[in-house]
Amino acid sequence: MSAPTAIEAATLRSDRFRLAREGDWRRLETIVGCMESGRLRKLSDDDVLALPALYRTAASSLAVARETSLDAGTIAWLEALVRRAWFQVYGPRQGFARWFGGFVGGGLSKAVRAIWLDVVIAFAVMAAGVLTGWLLVAQDPEWYFSLVPSQLTETRVPGASREVLLKSLGTEDSAGGLTGFAAFLFQNNAGVSILAFALGFAFGIPTLLLLLKEMASLGAMLWLFSSQGLGLEFAAWISVHGTTELLAILLAGAAGLHVGRAMAFPGERAILTATAEAGRRAATVMAGVVLMLVLAALLEAFARQLVGGTADRLLIGGTMLAIWLAYFFAFRRDPEGRVS
C-alpha cells in the first residue's frame, strides 16, 4: 500500500502520526540492526551520517507518542528502538585494539598511580606477612608445614641439608617441559590475583588476609634457606620472576583494597557511584596484572630454570623491577586525555 493513502485512511490522528514517520523509524531499525550484528560494511555512508538525526527523530517521536497516542504496541516498539539506537549512538566508541593501545600507552600506569595509597597499604601488609612467616618458623619449625603449601615443599623442608636445598635452586638442563610449567604457573597465579581483587568487595579485609597468608609462606621459606646460609641464593632465585609476580600480586591486592575502601568510605559520593568508579579504575589495573603474570610465568619457567648464577639472576630480577617501576611511576603519558 502506498503511504499517503494509508495515512489518509487512518481514522486516528495518532495513527496518522505514526504512519507518516514509520519510514524513518524502519530505516533506523535497519541501520541499528546492521550495527548490532557487526555488518558495518552493509551500511552506506548516507546511513552512517543519517544515524544521529534518525535517532533524534525517533526519540522525539517517542516523546510525542507518549503524550498523544494510546497505542501501547507502537509505543513499546518505539521505546525498544530508541533504546537500541541509544546503545549504538552512545555505545563504546573504541574497539579492542584502540582500547588496548590506550591501556598500554598510559592508561595502565595512570590507573596504578591513581591507587597509590592502596599500593602502599598492600605493600606494608605484604612486608608484615613476610616478617610474620619468618618469626613464626624461627620460633617453631613446625609452623613451616602449615604455612608453605605441600606441593611447594618437596625437598625444601626444615632439617634438609645445605646441598639438598642448594640443588632445589638449581637449573634444568634443557627447556623441555618448561612451557607447560609456565602455563600452569600463570593459571595458578592469575587465579590467586583475581581472588585477591574480587575479595576486595568485602571491604578489602579478606584481600589483606590473603596477602598476609601468601607472604607468610614466602617468609617461612626465606627463613629456611637463610638458616643454611643460602639467603642470598634464595633471594636471587626468587627475584627472577618474583619481582614481576609479587608486584602483580601486590597490584591485585591494592586493586581489591581500592574497591573495598571506596565501599567503606565513599565520602561525599553515593556509595554505588563511588564503588563503580573505584571498580573501573581497579579493573584497568587487573588487566595489567594478568599481563604481568603471563610475563612472570615465562620468566619463572625459562629464565629461572636456565640461568644459574646468583648474580645473573639478581640482575634479571632487578632489571625487571626497575622497568616496572619506571613504567608505572615515571611514564606519565595521558592517552589523549580521554575520559575513562
Compute the least distance from the CB of residue 236 to another protein, in Å.
27
Compute the least distance from the CB of residue 101 to another protein, in Å.
12
- Given the complex with another protein, which of 135 and 294 has the nearer CB atom? 294
- Given the complex with another protein, which of 69 and 239 has the nearer CB atom? 69
- Given the complex with another protein, which of 80 and 127 has the nearer CB atom? 80
- Given the complex with another protein, which of 299 and 314 has the nearer CB atom? 299
Neighbours of 306 (CB within 10 A): 14
Amino acid of residue 78: L
Q: In three state form, how does the secondary structure of the chain look?
A: CCHHHHHHHCCCHHHHHHHHHHHHHHHHHHHHHHHHCCCHHHCCHHHHHHHHHHHHHHHHHHHHHHHHCCCHHHHHHHHHHHHHHHHHHCCCCCCHHHHHHHHHHHHHHHHHHHCHHHHHHHHHHHHHHHHHHHHHHHHCCCHHHHHCCHHHHCCCCCCCCHHHHHHHCCCCCCCCCHHHHHHHHHHHHHHHHHHHHHHHHCCCHHHHHHHHHHHHHHHHHHHHHHHCCCHHHHHHHHHHHHHHHHHHHHHHHHHHHHHHHHHHCCCCCCHHHHHHHHHHHHHHHHHHHHHHHHHHHHHHHHHHHHCCCHHHHHHHHHHHHHHHHHHHHHCCCCCCCCCC
295 grid coordinates: 610475563
Compute the least distance from the CB of residue 149 to another protein, in Å.
16
- Given the complex with another protein, which of 87 and 329 has the nearer CB atom? 87
- Given the complex with another protein, which of 230 and 282 has the nearer CB atom? 282
Q: How far apart are CA 315 and CA 299, in angstroms?
A: 13
Compute the least distance from the CB of residue 114 to another protein, in Å.
12
Compute the least distance from the CB of residue 216 to another protein, in Å.
18
Compute the least distance from the CB of residue 159 to another protein, in Å.
29
- Given the complex with another protein, which of 79 and 321 has the nearer CB atom? 79
Compute the least distance from the CB of residue 136 to another protein, in Å.
20
- Given the complex with another protein, which of 36 and 334 has the nearer CB atom? 36
Compute the least distance from the CB of residue 82 to another protein, in Å.
6
Location of C-alpha cell 612451557: 179
